[in-house]
Amino acid sequence: MRYIMTAAALALAAGSAVQAADDVTLQLKWVTQAQFAGYYVAQDKGFYEEEDLNVTILPGGPDIAPTQVIAGGGADVTVEWMPAALAAREKGLPLVNIAQPFKSSGMMLTCWKDTGISEPADLANRTLGVWFFGNEFPFMSWMSQLGISTEGKSENGVEVLKQGFNVDPLLQRQADCISTMTYNEYWQVIDAGVSEDELITFKYEDQGVATLEDGLYVLEDKLEDPEFVDKMQRFVRASMKGWKYAEENPDEAAEIVLDNDASGAQTETHQQRMMREIAKLTSGSDGALDPADYQRTVDTLLTGGSSPVITKEPEGAWTHVITDAALK
């Protein structure tokens, strides 16, 4: 009888262990693509499972604002660009950066060379396509630093075209330049039949106005809960393991992304190319936020002329509590 009870106790314990996996919901900034390969790889390779985590990855899209999702309790952690996160924080949503898988920015402005644009000063009196929904903040700061108004075309001003999430404004000559990422829209232009020789690009990194992209953010009050902190430490550790695997195995990572693309809109060629470009941006990061990169972002956002992205130095906008424990 004692043996039977022991077996029953073991079965109960095993059942409890199965149920012990902690749920984590991650909200992505955009649709399923290699930009988020590290998380899909971590899930596919069992890295989350190894950390006793059951991770749900929610794709983003043009009608999904990550900050609104996490504010409404729809996610535990979200991928967001720092300008949008800091702007939201100043407006009352206490987002905190807990990890920074992306070391470099992939944002740039892509222009037709035949318009005569050869340097940033030539951008004045042009029509420029700009993404909004928080993605406009680095651009606005850059224009402010150049002394170029965004109120309309003039000798010292530009017309800002609210750009959709495609490259049509450039292809149709509605804009002289458009916003592109090194890993996505730029190659959409090339795939449309445009030669690289016909274009000139200005990378935000090269212009000294790059801001941090694709960090991991949580709500500040959640960090007061030791269980949540422990869960995030395991999540970040597994996620960075996924990112480093993706860097070293780009083609396999792209295939994993494609396996998770419910839309069926992505192609193997595009995702493999994207993953190789993404690997350049995550290279050099172990997941811990570099305070110097953070300060550069803040300084860029504060120099917004009459309409700065943020109006004061943020306090408590990032922490190493998670990465210190996750990466040791």
pLDDT at 13: 47
Domain holding 298, by residue range, is 2-104+212-326
Question: Does 138 share its domain with 71?
Answer: no
Give 126-147 pLDDT, tens digit per residue: 999 998 866 787 898 889 889 9
In this predicted structure, the answer to whether residue 32 has a pLDDT above a threshold of 90 is: yes
In this predicted structure, the answer to whether residue 14 has a pLDDT above a threshold of 60 is: no
pLDDT at 165: 81
Amino acid at 234: R
In this predicted structure, the answer to whether residue 71 has a pLDDT above a threshold of 80 is: yes
In this predicted structure, the answer to whether residue 304 has a pLDDT above a threshold of 70 is: no
pLDDT at 4: 41
- Per the listing, tokens 């390779």 go with 45
Q: How many CB atoms are closer than 10 A to CB 124?
A: 18
Percent of the chain with pLDDT over 90: 79
Give the lowest-confidence range in 20-34, 169-183, 300-314: 300-314
Mean residue pLDDT across the chain: 91
Q: Which of 164, 192, 207 is the last residue of a domain?
A: 207
Question: Does 228 share its domain with 99?
Answer: yes
Question: Does 98 share its domain with 184?
Answer: no
Distance separating alpha carbons of residues 96 and 253, to the nearest angstrom: 28
Question: Does 12 share its domain with 40?
Answer: yes
Q: Which of 207, 238, 266 is the last residue of a domain?
A: 207
Confidence of residue 3 (pLDDT cuts 50, 70, 90): very low
In this predicted structure, the answer to whether residue 180 has a pLDDT above a threshold of 70 is: yes
Closest by CA to 143, choosing from 131, 128, 162, is 128
Q: Which of 207, 227, 257 is the last residue of a domain?
A: 207
Question: Does 98 share its domain with 130?
Answer: no
Question: Does 54 share its domain with 148?
Answer: no
pLDDT at 10: 46
Question: Are 169 and 178 within 8 A, CB to CB?
Answer: yes
Question: Does 37 share its domain with 175?
Answer: no
| Domain total of the chain | 2
pLDDT at 301: 86
> CA neighbours within 13 Å on the CB side: how many for 294?
20
In this predicted structure, the answer to whether residue 12 has a pLDDT above a threshold of 50 is: no
Question: Does 53 share its domain with 195?
Answer: no
Question: Does 11 share its domain with 92?
Answer: yes
In this predicted structure, the answer to whether residue 119 has a pLDDT above a threshold of 90 is: yes
Helix (H), strand (E), coil (C) string for the chain: CHHHHHHHHHHHHHHHHHHCCEEEEEECCCCCCHHHHHHHHHHHCCHHHHCCEEEEEECCECCECHHHHHHCCCCCEEEECHHHHHHHHHCCCCEEEEEECCCCCCEEEEEEHHHCCCCHHHHCCCEEEECCCCCCHHHHHHHHHHCCECCCCECCECEEEECCCCCHHHHCCCCCEEEEECCCHHHHHHHCCCCHHHEEEEEHHHHCCCCCCCEEEEEHHHHHCHHHHHHHHHHHHHHHHHHHHHHHCHHHHHHHHHHCCCCCCCCHHHHHHHHHHHHHHHCCCCECCCHHHHHHHHHHHHCCCCCCCCCCCCCCCECCHHHHHHCC
pLDDT at 306: 61
More confident residue, 308 or 191: 191
Distance separating alpha carbons of residues 310 and 305, to the nearest angstrom: 11
Give the residue-averaged pLDDT of 270-276.
97
pLDDT at 93: 97
Residue 147 belongs to domain with CATH number: 3.40.190.10
Question: Does 32 share its domain with 151?
Answer: no
- Per the listing, tokens 């009608």 go with 63
pLDDT at 310: 87
Between the CA of residue 286 and those of 101, 136, 279, 317, 324, what are the distances in Å? 7, 28, 13, 19, 11
Strand partners, 180: 108
In this predicted structure, the answer to whether residue 34 has a pLDDT above a threshold of 80 is: yes
pLDDT at 236: 98
In this predicted structure, the answer to whether residue 5 has a pLDDT above a threshold of 80 is: no
Question: Does 79 share its domain with 217?
Answer: yes
Question: Does 115 share its domain with 99?
Answer: no
